[in-house]
Each structure stands twice: as C-alpha cells, then as structure tokens.
Amino acid sequence: MPHRKKNRRPLLLLCIAAALVISMLCAVKYGVDSSKLRKESGELRLRVAELSSQLAETAQRLQETEAQAQGDPEDDGGQSDPDEAGSGGEEHTPEGGEDAPGVPVSNPTEGMEHPEYQELYPDFYAETDFSAGWNDQDNVAYLTFDDGPTERTPEVLDILAQKGVKATFFVVGTTLKSDFGKKMLQRIVDEGHTVAMHSMTHKYNVIYSSVEAFLDDFNQEYELIYEIAGVHPTLFRFPGGSINTYNKSIYKELISEMLRRGFLYYDWNVSGEDAAGAKTAQAVASNVISQSEKRSRCVVLLHDGEDKTATVAALPGMIDSLTAQGKQILPLDESVKPIVYGYRD
Ligand SMILES: [Zn+2]
C-alpha cells in the first residue's frame, strides 16, 4: 500500500499541473477570443450605424424626388387644361440631371396608340400662340353674343360702336350662308370684334353624337368663316356649354381633341339668362349686373338670336353699369385665360 501510495503522488501533482496548464491555456484562449469577439462586435455595430445613415440619406433623397415629381404640375401657376393639352410649352421641362423625373422624351407619343379621329381634317388646327402666357387681368368683362348673326346683330353692333366697346360673337355657320349673314360676319370683323365658332348647325343631337360628328361640323364652320371673312377663328363655344346633357358621355374627348388642335373654348360665369327665363330688358340687365358685381373677371353670356330684342334693349344700360363697376369691356382673344366649367368625374 505505502509503495503504491508513494508512486501516486507525482502523478497527482502532474495531473494538477496539467489541469492548471490546460485551464491557463483555456483562459488565455477564451480571453483572446472574447476580446476579439468584442472587437468584431464593435466593428459590426459601426458598420450597421453607417448603413443606417446611408439608408436614411437614400430615403430622404427618394422623398425629395417624389415631392418634386408631385410638385411639377403645380409649377404651371394654375394654368389649366388648354396649356397642358395645347402648347406643351418649354416651362414644363424640369431642370435637373438627366435622371430628373418628368423629362420628356424626344417624342412622347411615338409608338403610342391614338384615336383615329386625330387623323381627320388635317387643316383643322388653330395657330394659337401661347408663348406670352395667360392674361387673367382683374376688373374686366367680356361680352359674348351667341347664335347670330341675325337681324339683331346690326343693332348690337351699332350699340357697341356708340359705346366704343368690342365684344365676341360666337356665330352659327348656317346663319352665315345668306348674303345678310356674310355681310354681318364681315362687319363684325371689320369693326374689330372677335369672331368665334359656335358650330355649323347648332343641332345638339347631331354634333354631340360622336367626336367625329363634332369635328365634321366645326371643321365646316371653320372653313366657311375663312371663305367669307378671311380669318381663321381660334376660339369656340360649345352649344349648351362644354358639359351638357347631350355630350356627357364624350365631353372629355371633345375638349381634349379640340385643345389638342389648338382651339380654346370659353364657357361663362355671368349670364343674361336671355335664352331661358329673362324676357324683358330689365330682367336681362339685372341678371348681368347682379352676377358681375360678385366677380372680377366676367365672361358674360348673351344672345343675338332673332327674338332677343330684350337683350338689345338691355345692352346700353348694361355696358354703363359694368363700366360703373370699374370693369374694362374687352373682346376675347387667345391670350385670355379661359373661364370654363369644372368637372371631377
Ligand atoms: Zn348657342
């Protein structure tokens, strides 16, 4: 026993020493590893922070780009449909790098399908020049007379001459075919008023039956006015206004196609209501005066149809009242910012 006991002690000591060495080695190993791990983890945290910051910058840039893209249409200064569809002016080209959003390609419509009616009547285009921008001056009244010329037209022209004011005549093509009609059209032009289109036939169920029918009708009137008076009208008014019960399924196409061809249309924001209820001069005048008092820019709807004697009688007093309101009375031209109906659907 003692012999065996004597032999075991060095082995035990050796084992203890070995265990100590192993634990020390382990301690050194794991110590190194853990400090390396801490270092690596620190580096990783730095990298994550860097990436987050890059991500935040990218998100910021994206937001700015989106805001710029959404902001572009408002840069038109509120100019409405006609400019967008008609001129596509230079002010629409955004500044910025080659990747800037909204930069038009050389021919944005190339290869795109378009309605066949765009090919019809290749000479039915207005040579409108929008480069000067819109005139939307305040304190102005644009008197407009629809549906003539008739026997009332020379009476209207005489009053306008006496008062020294110019107006706009939205003429109907069929009334221009007689010698009297031709003479009146020439007189309107010669006396410095604006001649504008109001359709060849004024037949709602015909002109609003399709875009093609509408173009066919207006193209006829366009050519007729040029034949008689040597002027190409650039303005028009939809019979019944731009949106009515007859054209409700195609009015957007009609508007877009006419604007694409360079024509401008005007609805109205003041009406003598002489086509409907107003039968007396006093009623016509008071409609115009009360409505125009509330507006700074007035497009005044009147008619010089055969039976509109009340309108003729109302006219001198109406002009005096508009002048007394501080309004300048002017004819429409293609620089006048249109007053048009709004639509949302
Ligand atoms: Zn009419």
254-307 pLDDT, tens digit each: 999 999 999 999 999 999 999 987 789 999 999 999 999 999 999 999 999 999
The CA 147 to ligand 1 mean position distance, Å, reads: 5
| Domain presence at residue 87 | no
| Domain presence at residue 104 | no
State the DSSP code for 137. Answer: -
> Max alpha carbon distance in the chain (Å)?
152
CA-wise closest residue to 306 among 167, 143, 149: 149
**64 and 182 together in one domain:** no
Q: What is the pLDDT of residue 107?
A: 66
The CA 15 to ligand 1 mean position distance, Å, reads: 117
| Domain presence at residue 167 | yes
The CA 251 to ligand 1 mean position distance, Å, reads: 16
Integer Cα distance of 193 and 166 in angstroms? 5
| Domain presence at residue 118 | no
CA-wise closest residue to 266 among 338, 173, 316: 338
Could you tell me the residue range of the domain that residue 68 belongs to?
Answer: 2-72
Q: So which residues are the catalytic ones?
A: 146, 303
Are 285 and 262 a contacting pair, CB within 8 Å? Answer: no
Share of the chain above pLDDT 90, in %: 63
Amino acid present at 114: H
pLDDT at 55 over 70: no
Ranked by mean pLDDT, the top range of 37-46, 84-93, 148-157 is: 148-157
Cβ count within 10 A of residue 75? 13
The CA 61 to ligand 1 mean position distance, Å, reads: 53
Q: How many domains does the chain have?
A: 2
**55 and 152 together in one domain:** no
CA distance readout (Å), 154 to 12, 151, 161, 184, 304: 135, 7, 10, 7, 9
**163 and 275 together in one domain:** yes
Q: What is the pLDDT of residue 342?
A: 86
The CA 145 to ligand 1 mean position distance, Å, reads: 9
**61 and 144 together in one domain:** no
**170 and 306 together in one domain:** yes
* Helical H segments across the chain, by residue range: 2-71, 81-86, 152-163, 179-190, 204-207, 211-229, 251-260, 281-293, 309-324
Q: What is the pLDDT of residue 266?
A: 98
pTM value is 0.70
Q: Could you read off the pLDDT of 100-151 as tens digits, one per residue? A: 455 555 666 666 789 999 999 999 999 888 788 899 999 999 999 999 999 9
Q: What is the pLDDT of residue 279?
A: 85
